[in-house]
């Protein structure tokens, strides 16, 4: 890897800190800016074949017959595999991450448009695609269930007749909080506000689609799988279970990943097809989906229909929040969340407020839509929870004719209340909300903005100011109650210091752009004083790294980052024993000054970590009980989640003639505890804010009544470009996590979670002269136009 050149002459803050925290240029960039990253589709193996998948054109249909004879005879085709073939191998179905099952290739029915029906393996990707056209499938088309509100109607077609005894489309019920106590508070409240709120189906759409290269060696019995996975270890274990291959004979490699955002957490049928394709042909097989396949068949996000209710006193003290949710889980429950949390962490819908009671009940249903359910940087459904509470709080502010900032400030959980247990049982570790809110208001110039708005309103111009304040729960999670299919959500870390004082750290998590190779080198550097440039970060290869659950839900820093700090401290403890022998003093006589152990009171007597490393591997006796070498490993089980927070303010202008919303300014003040690399943190926030603009104003996966996906390309599924987003304005406060070894909290999804309500609140605020109290996302010109004319309708 090429060393990063310093250009400090033009950017004074570009100090590459030699050791520890601070702004540091990324170790992964030199390869990526040269086009020398290695993504899954870049993997080329000798004799490699290409796989393409035939997908269902119908949302719901019985598969009568599949004739593959013409495809098999096509030039360059090596294999054609159908559901019936897989059935013979016991591989037609696979478990989902939520203890449901999902068809790998359809045998009985297709249950969503885009479902996998058959695959072709051929000599090149064009030949494979050509042969798909030659597969003749006879379908018996059935009525689909598309309207989620009709899924449980008595006459609704039954989707999951594969499940024994299933007679309706009910997926699960879930509740949290205290229904009776909440009802009692609502009954005596001065003010109750209700609002129906839809969080429509959206899609993470990472720039790199999903794919895999499978290489099964029949002699060794070993499967090597390069794949776009955010969780290589969890995938390996699941492949062992699904395919019946011994786990030590499976090597999952996640190379460079072109964005994940949760889209690359589940196991998709395509991965399994690639494995089967390699076993069947005896050759390496590559499967790379195209953009339409990505949008119509892989993990979607949201799709919650919520009724929010908030109870308060007349002077603006929030007393209780209650919600009822109808959740659309698609054809198979593929939600990627800890199994005891079928609604993810939606339970934090009480937000950042000290209230008396809360209750939520939820019904989840099957529909003839793609499976998935938790993706798109949502922190396990906290996006939906924060959107609900921040929208309903704004509805309350409107009802009370109170400033929305003032209402929030009045109801915040106070610093001396932490750790704070919410009415739904979540223990917020730390927080100091008011300074964060005040800083956002200062950056925004809140009072001046309100004055400008008043002037503009008087002139008939539409300007809106929206606020949201969020608390997230990230870093899943304590193994006592968090697991995915029985795998505890802990993470391993190994650190080895070489004789010359250079080091290698091995992680169980995997970057998809978050900069792990930099951040984790900095964490280790801070603890043992070896410069980040001297630390190799190894990740994404199950043969090279310790077991752990991977990168999603903003869990890398809270869980794996803690593991890295603690494994470094273990190494440092051992180094101290060796240093005491080298300096011929007791351990208690030594003090750690970053990078070396010194004799207390005699700074001239010291040994560096590099000298200690050489001694640990060198000749001569070590103290009694100390083994040679300088390395350690750990498996970190977090005692709690971490709870980052933030205050966001959005300013929008709406053209009354076209109803086009323009985000003029966006101010984001985040508190993610201890900050390891501020440059990377800012980047994470910027990306999430852009997601927020997308969801609030542009993005939606919708379906027609036949179940045709209407967001099946980037011409139809609109993602923000540089023209739809402003230059972001950021700030920060620091409230360390008390239980995390370095006080850090997650930040990867904060802005995706926190920004949509700020934008929607701003739009609704702008439309106040039209009497609008709520309008659902996506706030496209036509939907805003309708809202301005009193015709605001839910998008589904």
Partner 1 sequence: MQVTMIVNDTEVTREIEGRLLLVHFLRDTLGLTGTHWGCDTSNCGTCVVWLDGEPVKSCTVLAAMADGHEVRTVEGLAKGAELDPIQEGFMQCHGLQCGFCTPGMMMTCRALLDKNPDPTDAEIREAISGQICRCTGYSTIVRSVRWASVHEARVNQ
Residues that bind partner 1 (CB under 8 A): 2, 4-5, 7, 10-11, 14, 25-26, 28-30, 32-39, 41-42, 44, 124-126, 204-209, 256-259, 261, 290-292, 512-515, 679-680, 682-683, 686-691, 713-715, 719, 721-723, 725, 727-728
Q: How far is residue 301's CA from residue 200's CA, in Å, rounded to a whole number?
A: 8
* 657 exposure class (CB count in 10 Å sphere: 0-12, 13-18, 19+): exposed
Beta strand pairing status for 304-312 and 191-199?
A: antiparallel
Q: Which of 475, 560, 558 lies closest to 509, judged by CA? A: 560
Q: In sequence order, what are the residues at sequence separation of 6 or more whose Cβ sits closer than 8 angstroms to the Cβ of residue 414?
A: 354
Q: Between 208 and 309, name the residue whose CB sits nearer to partner 1.
A: 208
Q: How far is residue 281's CA from residue 218's CA, in Å, rounded to a whole number?
A: 11
Beta strand pairing status for 318-328 and 49-55?
A: unpaired
Backbone angles phi, psi at 229, to 5 degrees: -120, 135
Q: Between 256 and 394, name the residue whose CB sits nearer to partner 1.
A: 256
Q: How is 105-168 classified by DSSP, letter by letter?
A: S-SSEE-STT-EEEEEEESSHHHHHHHHTT-EEEEEE------GGGTTSTTSPPS-TTSTT--S
Q: Between 597 and 728, name the residue whose CB sits nearer to partner 1.
A: 728
Compute the chain's Rg from CA coordinates.
27
Backbone angles phi, psi at 356, to 5 degrees: -90, -30
Q: Between 192 and 725, name the residue whose CB sits nearer to partner 1.
A: 725
| Minimum distance from residue 715 beta carbon to partner 1 (Å) | 5
Q: Between 23 and 87, name the residue whose CB sits nearer to partner 1.
A: 23
Q: Between 359 and 666, name the residue whose CB sits nearer to partner 1.
A: 666
| Minimum distance from residue 263 beta carbon to partner 1 (Å) | 10
Backbone angles phi, psi at 395, to 5 degrees: -60, -40
Q: In sequence order, what are the residues at sequence separation of 6 or more whose Cβ sits closer than 8 angstroms to the Cβ of residue 480?
A: none
| Minimum distance from residue 647 beta carbon to partner 1 (Å) | 18
| Minimum distance from residue 28 beta carbon to partner 1 (Å) | 7
| Minimum distance from residue 208 beta carbon to partner 1 (Å) | 5
> What are the CA-CA distances from residue 752 to residues 57, 207, 472, 553, 697 (Å)?
32, 17, 11, 12, 13
Q: How far is residue 44's CA from residue 31's CA, in Å, rounded to a whole number?
A: 18
DSSP secondary structure code for residue 331 in this structure: S
Q: Between 722 and 782, name the residue whose CB sits nearer to partner 1.
A: 722
Q: How far is residue 566's CA from residue 505's CA, in Å, rounded to a whole number?
A: 12
Q: How far is residue 222's CA from residue 231's CA, in Å, rounded to a whole number?
A: 20
| Minimum distance from residue 416 beta carbon to partner 1 (Å) | 36
Q: Between 35 and 460, name the residue whose CB sits nearer to partner 1.
A: 35
| Minimum distance from residue 292 beta carbon to partner 1 (Å) | 7
Q: Between 585 and 679, name the residue whose CB sits nearer to partner 1.
A: 679
| Minimum distance from residue 207 beta carbon to partner 1 (Å) | 4
| Minimum distance from residue 214 beta carbon to partner 1 (Å) | 18
Q: Between 144 and 211, name the residue whose CB sits nearer to partner 1.
A: 211
- Helices 562-583 and 609-617 cross at an angle (nearest 10°) of 80
| Minimum distance from residue 89 beta carbon to partner 1 (Å) | 30
| Minimum distance from residue 34 beta carbon to partner 1 (Å) | 6
| Minimum distance from residue 486 beta carbon to partner 1 (Å) | 31
Q: Which of 786, 753, 509 lies closest to 647, judged by CA? A: 753
> What are the CA-CA distances from residue 126 to residues 51, 276, 715 (Å)?
10, 20, 23
Q: Between 207 and 219, name the residue whose CB sits nearer to partner 1.
A: 207
Secondary structure E strands in 483-543: 483-484, 487-488, 491-497, 503-507, 535-538
* 6 exposure class (CB count in 10 Å sphere: 0-12, 13-18, 19+): exposed
Q: Which ranges of 584-655 would DSSP assign to H, the alpha helix?
A: 609-617
DSSP secondary structure code for residue 344 in this structure: T
Decide: helix, strand or coil at residue 740.
coil
Q: Between 342 and 687, name the residue whose CB sits nearer to partner 1.
A: 687
Q: Between 234 and 685, name the residue whose CB sits nearer to partner 1.
A: 685
| Minimum distance from residue 732 beta carbon to partner 1 (Å) | 16
| Minimum distance from residue 48 beta carbon to partner 1 (Å) | 10
> What are the CA-CA distances from residue 99 to residues 107, 302, 333, 342 (Å)?
20, 19, 8, 10
Token pair, residue 568, equals 């470094």
Q: Between 204 and 270, name the residue whose CB sits nearer to partner 1.
A: 204
């Amino acid at each position: 890897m090429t060393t990063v050149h310093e250009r400090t002459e033009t950017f004074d803050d570009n100090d590459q800190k030699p050791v520890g925290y601070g702004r540091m240029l990324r170790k992964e960039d030199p390869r990526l800016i040269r086009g020398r990253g290695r993504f899954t589709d870049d993997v080329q193996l000798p004799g490699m074949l290409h796989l393409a998948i035939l997908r269902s054109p119908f949302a719901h249909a019985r598969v009568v017959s599949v004739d593959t004879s013409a495809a098999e005879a096509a030039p360059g085709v090596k294999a054609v595999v159908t559901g019936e073939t897989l059935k013979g191998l016991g591989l037609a179905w696979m478990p989902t991450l939520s203890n449901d099952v999902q068809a790998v290739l359809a045998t009985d029915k297709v249950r969503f448009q885009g479902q996998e029906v058959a695959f072709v393996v051929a000599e090149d990707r064009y030949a494979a695609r050509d042969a798909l056209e030659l597969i003749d499938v006879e379908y018996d088309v059935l009525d689909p269930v598309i309207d989620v509100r009709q899924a449980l109607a008595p006459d609704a077609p039954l989707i999951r007749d594969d499940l024994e005894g299933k007679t309706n489309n009910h997926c699960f019920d879930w509740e949290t909080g205290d229904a009776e106590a909440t009802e009692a508070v609502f009954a005596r409240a001065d003010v109750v506000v209700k609002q129906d709120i839809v969080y429509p189906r959206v899609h993470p759409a990472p720039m790199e689609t999903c794919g895999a290269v499978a290489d099964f060696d029949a002699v060794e019995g070993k499967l090597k799988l390069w794949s776009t996975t955010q969780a290589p270890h969890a995938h390996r274990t699941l492949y062992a279970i699904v395919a019946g291959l011994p786990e030590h004979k499976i090597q999952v490699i996640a190379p460079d990943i072109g964005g994940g955002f949760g889209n690359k957490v589940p196991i998709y049928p395509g991965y399994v097809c690639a494995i089967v394709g390699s076993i069947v042909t005896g050759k390496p097989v590559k499967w790379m989906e195209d953009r339409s396949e990505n949008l119509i068949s892989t993990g979607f996000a949201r799709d919650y229909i919520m009724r929010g209710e908030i109870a308060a006193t007349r002077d603006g003290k929030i007393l209780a929040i209650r919600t009822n949710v109808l959740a659309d889980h698609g054809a198979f429950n593929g939600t990627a969340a800890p199994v005891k949390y079928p609604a993810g962490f939606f339970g934090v819908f009480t937000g950042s407020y000290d209230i008396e009671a809360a209750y939520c009940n939820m019904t989840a249903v099957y529909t003839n839509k793609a499976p998935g359910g938790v993706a798109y940087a949502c922190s396990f459904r906290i996006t939906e929870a924060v959107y609900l509470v921040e929208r309903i709080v704004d509805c309350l502010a409107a009802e009370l004719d109170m400033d929305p900032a003032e209402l929030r400030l009045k109801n915040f959980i106070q610093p001396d209340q932490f750790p704070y247990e919410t009415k739904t049982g979540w223990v917020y570790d730390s927080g100091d909300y008011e300074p964060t809110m005040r800083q956002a208001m200062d950056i925004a110039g809140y009072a001046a903005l309100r004055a400008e708005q008043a002037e503009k309103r008087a002139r008939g111009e539409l300007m809106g100011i929206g606020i949201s304040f969020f608390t997230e729960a990230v870093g899943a999670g304590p193994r006592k109650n968090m697991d995915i299919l029985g795998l505890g959500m802990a993470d391993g870390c190994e650190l080895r210091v070489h004789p010359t004082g250079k080091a290698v750290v091995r992680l169980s998590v995997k970057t998809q752009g978050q900069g792990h190779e930099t951040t984790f080198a900095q964490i280790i550097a801070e603890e043992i004083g070896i410069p980040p440039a001297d630390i190799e970060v190894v990740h994404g290869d199950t043969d090279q790294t310790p077991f752990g659950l991977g990168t999603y839900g903003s869990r890398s820093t809270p869980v794996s980052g803690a593991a890295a700090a603690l494994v470094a401290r273990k190494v440092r403890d051992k180094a101290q024993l060796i240093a005491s022998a080298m300096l011929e003093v007791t351990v208690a006589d030594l003090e750690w000054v970053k990078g070396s152990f010194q004799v207390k009171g005699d700074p001239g007597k010291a040994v560096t970590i590099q000298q200690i490393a050489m001694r640990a591997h060198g000749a001569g006796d070590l103290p009694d009980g100390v083994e040679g070498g300088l390395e350690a490993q750990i498996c970190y089980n977090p005692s709690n989640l971490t709870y980052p927070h933030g205050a966001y303010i959005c300013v929008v202008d709406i053209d009354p003639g076209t109803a086009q919303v323009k985000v003029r300014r966006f101010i984001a003040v985040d508190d993610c505890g201890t900050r390891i690399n501020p440059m990377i943190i800012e980047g994470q926030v910027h990306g999430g804010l852009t997601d927020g603009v997308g969801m609030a104003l542009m993005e939606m996966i919708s379906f027609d009544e036949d179940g045709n996906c209407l967001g099946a390309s980037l011409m139809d599924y609109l993602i923000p470009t540089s023209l739809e987003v402003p230059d972001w304005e950021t700030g920060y406060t620091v409230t360390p996590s008390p239980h995390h070894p370095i006080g850090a909290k997650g930040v990867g999804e904060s802005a995706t979670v926190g920004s949509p309500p700020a934008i929607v609140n701003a739009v609704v605020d702008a439309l106040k002269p039209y009497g609008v109290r709520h309008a659902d996302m996506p706030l496209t010109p036509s939907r805003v136009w309708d809202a301005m004319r009193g015709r605001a309708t839910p998008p589904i």
